[in-house]
Amino acid sequence: MFKKLRLRITLSTLLILLILLFVLSTGIYQFAKHEFNKSIDIMLKESAYKVIFSGDFESEYYYKSPFQNRFSLDENSDNRVKINYFIYNEDLNTQYIKSDDITLIDDMKSQAIKALEDKEEIYDTISIDGINYRVYSSFFKSFTMVGVIQVYRSIEMQEILLNNLFKILIYSGLMGLLILSAISFFLAGRYIKPVKEAWEKQRAFTADASHELRTPLTVIKTNLDAATYDKEARIKDNEIWFKNIKEEIYNLNILIEELLLLAKGDTVDIKLNITEFDISNLLCKTLDSYENILKEKNILLEKNIEGNLEISGDENKIRQLISIVLDNAIKYNNNNGSITVKLNKEKRYTKLTVKDTGIGISKDEIDKVFDRFYRGDKGRNREKGGTGLGLSIAKWIVDKHKGKINIKSEINNGTTIIIYLKNN
C-alpha cells in the first residue's frame, strides 16, 4: 500500500515538475526569440532611417548595435553588419540597390507594394531558397524623393542560436527530470514515513486494545460461569467469584477510559482547561492521598517540595500526570523501599523529580516505555495491575503542556522520572 502511495506521490510530483519545466522552457525560448527579433528589427529600422536621411543612397552603410557588442568575444573584432537595401520610387520602380544578392528583390517586392499602398512600415520574415530573411519595408518622404525602402538581413545565425538553445533546454529538462525523479522518490519516502509509522502504531494499538479488552472479559465470564455452576449455592458461597468480577470490571473501566483518552487525543485536538494554579499545593495533596498505600507496602516517602510554585495548565490533567508517576513508583518498587519526590524551579521550567528504589528498567526498554501497552519482561506485567497505558498518557499530558519528560533507570537500581513544565 505504502509503496504504491510513494510511487503515486513521485509520479504526481514529476507531472507537476514536467508542466513547470515545459512552461519555463517555453518562456525562455519565446523570450530569447522575441529579443533576437526585436534587436534585428531595431537594427533594420535604424539602418533605413540612416540611409533615407543621409540622402547619399550610393554609399556603403554598416550597422553596429549594442546588442551585437554585448556578445562579441573579441573586443578588437569588427562586428559591423553591411546594410542591404532596396529603394523604390512612388511608382515602385527600383531606384537604388545595395545588396549581395539582387535576385532577392523579386521575392520581397510584395511587401514593398503593401507598404506603399498602406503608407506604413511592415516587418516580415521571408524564406527564400531555404534561408530566412527579416525584412523591414517602410513608406518614406525625404527632401529628395518619395517612395519605399526595404532593408533586410539573413537571420540564419539567430535561428542556429535558437535551435541550440532549444536543444539545451530539452537536454537539461530531461536531465533535470531524471535528477528530480530520484529526489522526489527519496522525499516521498521521507514524507510517507511518519504516516506509515502512525498507521502501524494505530494498527498495533487496535490489536493490543482488542487483546487487553478480551482478557478482563474472559476473567469475568469464567467467574460468572463458576458462580452460576451450582444452582443451589447462595450468594455468600460465591462471594469470591463476585469479588473477582467486581475487580475486573473496575480494571476494565479504567482501561476503557484510558483507551478513550488516547484515541480522542489522536483524532481530536483536545482543548485543555488552562488556569494558573499552585502546583506545590497540588503535589502535596496528591501525595497525602497515597499515605495509606505507602504504609501498607512499607515504602518511605521523602519530600523536597519548594513552596508556592505556580504554573499555567490543566490542573486535573497535571493531577492525573502526578498520579500516574506515583502509581508506577509504588507499583514497581520493592517492599521497604523508598520514593523521593522533589519539586523546584529552574529558569523557565518547574521541575518535578520522582525517584524510586524499585526493579528498574533495562536500557533496551527505556525508549519503549512510552509506547502504548508496552510492558517489560521483568515485573512490568499484568500481575502488577497495569494496563500499559499510564506512561503513554503521562507523555501525552506533558506534550500537551509543551513540557518534557525523561526517564533514567537501571535494572534493580530504581527509576527516576523527570518532568519539566513551563512556568507562568
pLDDT tens per residue across span 227-245: 777 776 676 767 788 777 7
Who contacts 174 (Cβ-Cβ below 8 Å, separation ≥6)?
none
Residue 382 pLDDT: 46
Supply 53's cell numbers: 536621411
For residue 44, the tally of other CB atoms under 10 A from its CB is 26
Report the Cα–Cα distance between both ends of the chain, in Å, rounded.
Answer: 46
Report d(CA 321, CA 142) in Å as an integer: 98
- Looking at mean pLDDT, say which of 26-40, 65-79, 176-190, 248-262 comes out highest: 26-40
Query: Average pLDDT in the 243-262 region?
Result: 72
Query: Average pLDDT in the 251-256 region?
Result: 70
Who contacts 223 (Cβ-Cβ below 8 Å, separation ≥6)?
241, 242, 244, 245, 248
- Looking at mean pLDDT, say which of 77-86, 145-154, 183-192 comes out highest: 145-154
Supply 100's cell numbers: 549581395
Instruction: Specify the residue for cell string 511608382.
Output: 91
Q: Which long-range contacts (CB under 8 A, 24 or more apart) does 240-248 make?
A: 244/219, 245/219, 245/220, 248/216, 248/219, 248/220, 248/223
At 67, the pLDDT band (50, 70, 90 cuts) reads: very low
Angle between helices 2-54 and 156-229 (to 10 degrees): 160
Judge whether residue 207 has pLDDT over 80: no
CA atoms within 13 A on the CB side of 393: 28
Contact, 423 vs 349, CB < 8 A?
yes
At 281-340, the pLDDT tens digits run: 999 999 988 888 888 889 999 999 999 899 999 898 899 899 889 988 998 888 889 999
Helix locations, 230-334, DSSP H = 239-267, 279-288, 291-296, 315-331
Angle between helices 156-229 and 239-267 (to 10 degrees): 170
Residue 208 pLDDT: 61
Tell which residue, 104, 157, 98, has the closest CA to residue 129: 104
- Collapsing DSSP to helix, strand or coil, 57 comes out as coil
Whether this model's pTM surpasses 0.85: no
Tell which residue, 96, 92, 129, has the closest CA to residue 111: 92
Report d(CA 153, CA 125) in Å as an integer: 10
At 373-382, the pLDDT tens digits run: 665 544 444 4
Residue 258 pLDDT: 66
At 331-378, the pLDDT tens digits run: 888 888 999 999 999 888 999 999 999 888 888 788 788 876 665 544
Tell which residue, 422, 424, 423, has the closest CA to residue 404: 422
Contact, 341 vs 316, CB < 8 A?
no
The rounded Cα 379 to chain-centroid distance in angstroms is 42
Report d(CA 260, CA 266) in Å as an integer: 10
At 88-141, the pLDDT tens digits run: 988 888 888 888 788 888 888 888 899 988 888 999 988 888 888 889 999 988
Helix locations, 82-155, DSSP H = 104-118
In 3-state terms the chain splits into helix, strand, coil percentages (rounded to 5) of 55, 20, 25
Supply 286's cell numbers: 496528591
Tell which residue, 281, 324, 326, 321, has the closest CA to residue 301: 326
Contact, 103 vs 166, CB < 8 A?
no
CA 333 vs CA 68, 320, 357, 397, 407: distances in Å: 88, 20, 6, 24, 15
Q: Which domains does the chain have, with CATH numbers?
A: 2-154 (3.30.450.20), 164-267 (1.10.287.130), 274-422 (3.30.565.10)
Judge whether residue 199 has pLDDT over 50: yes
The maximal CA–CA distance of the chain, rounded, in angstroms, is 138
Judge whether residue 66 has pLDDT over 70: no
DSSP 56: -
